[in-house]
Amino acid sequence: MELTYSITREDYWAFNKFYLEKYRHFRRTLAINSIVVAGACGLVMGPVLHLPTAYVLVWCCIVVAVCPAFLYWQCKQRVMRLPAKGGTMLGEHNLRMDSESVSGISLMSEGSIRWSGVLDIVETKEHFFMFVDTAMAFIVPKRVFKSSADAVQFLNAAKSFWKAAKA
């Protein structure tokens, strides 16, 4: 099976978003950062501005509520700037699958992974991700398929090859 498609910054963000939401350490980091920022604000604001404790506590709660959204937005801004135009991540890709391996070719790179090296195959609403490492995957947008039946056929083939290699 062979596919030719284009990866956009939005596809790259969708993969990173999935990764960030899937792994607990990112969520834990968001929570810790929120609490630390809120605590630091409370420790500075209260004594410096001579605010009552109730005001400081309300401010800390607001910071804890808003901080994760801000950090998530900031992460998206960084991720959207990361891949270079004309680099290996964005642009046209060719994906080939057979019973032995999955191969990817882009303008600047070419690589092949045996199915036994694929860690996971994940389906989201708009993409398939074939993880070859914790934070690295072949990104396949569902928009490349002419129909949902073609997308299901692709997923079934990929999972069949993958499961056969794991057996």
Give CA–CA dist 39/15, Å, rounded. 32
Give CA–CA dist 114/158, Å, rounded. 12
The per-residue pLDDT for 19 is 84
CATH class of 2-8+85-166: mainly beta
Closest residue by Cα to residue 117 from 132, 130, 107: 132
- Report in angstroms the alpha-carbon separations of 2 from 40, 49, 67, 85: 54, 64, 43, 24
* Model confidence at 30: pLDDT above 80: no
The model's pTM: 0.75
C-alpha triplet 67, 68, 72: angle, nearest 5°: 120
* Model confidence at 26: pLDDT above 70: no
Closest residue by Cα to residue 100 from 85, 112, 90, 82: 112
* Model confidence at 24: pLDDT above 70: no
The per-residue pLDDT for 86 is 67
Give CA–CA dist 165/167, Å, rounded. 6
Handedness of CA 62, 65, 67, 69 (dihedral sign): negative
C-alpha triplet 88, 94, 99: angle, nearest 5°: 120
* Model confidence at 94: pLDDT above 90: yes
The per-residue pLDDT for 49 is 76
* Model confidence at 115: pLDDT above 80: yes
Confidence at 25, pLDDT banded by 50, 70, 90: low
Amino acid present at 98: D
pLDDT, one tens digit per residue, over 54-88 is 877 787 777 777 777 777 787 778 777 776 676 67
Closest residue by Cα to residue 151 from 112, 124, 118, 114: 124
Most confident residue range from 74-83, 84-93, 111-120:
111-120
**140 or 20: which leads in pLDDT:** 140
Confidence at 95, pLDDT banded by 50, 70, 90: very high
Structural domain boundaries of the chain? 2-8+85-166, 13-81
The per-residue pLDDT for 97 is 95
Percent of the chain with pLDDT over 70: 94
The per-residue pLDDT for 123 is 94
